[in-house]
Amino acid sequence: PLAVELARSGATVRVEAGETVLHAVRNLVPSAPSSCEQGWCGTCETRVLDGEPDHRDRVLTEGERESGDTMMICVSRARSERLVLDL
Ligand code: FES
């Protein structure tokens, strides 16, 4: 499973295979915003402080994907075993 650290609280959540990062994060941050939950609206965009996102959205440009500074947590996952999010 992927480990996602929430920088503002220091808590870490496990994201199981087949679970979205958004779903796992909501256990600790119920207010995390989302709308389409299919990777096209941009509502769930979250800053990435560490780790390498595996982008699966249709919102970010190629340059934004490469920078890895932000991700759509409703669909995207990680290439690294750990992500640190600004949540
Ligand atoms: Fe729409 Fe994630 S909720 S892109």
One digit per residue, the tens of pLDDT, for the chain of length 87 reads 899 999 999 999 999 999 999 999 999 999 999 999 999 999 999 999 999 999 999 999 999 999 999 999 999 999 999 999 999
User: Does ligand 1 have an atom closer than 6 angstroms to the CB of 35?
Assistant: yes
Nearest atom in ligand 1 to the alpha carbon of residue 74 is: 2
| Lookup result for tokens 């780790």 | 51
53 lines ligand 1 (CB under 6 A): no
User: DSSP of 37-50, one letter per residue?
Assistant: SSSSS-TTEEEEEE
Question: Looking at residue 9, what is its pLDDT?
Answer: 95
Q: Say what the pLDDT of residue 2 is.
A: 96
Identify the bridge partners of residue 23 per DSSP, sorted by sequence position: none
Distance of CA 46 from the midpoint of ligand 1 (Å): 10
Task: Say what the pLDDT of residue 11 is.
Answer: 97
Q: What is the ipTM of this complex?
A: 0.99
| CA–centroid distance, residue 81 to ligand 1 (Å) | 22
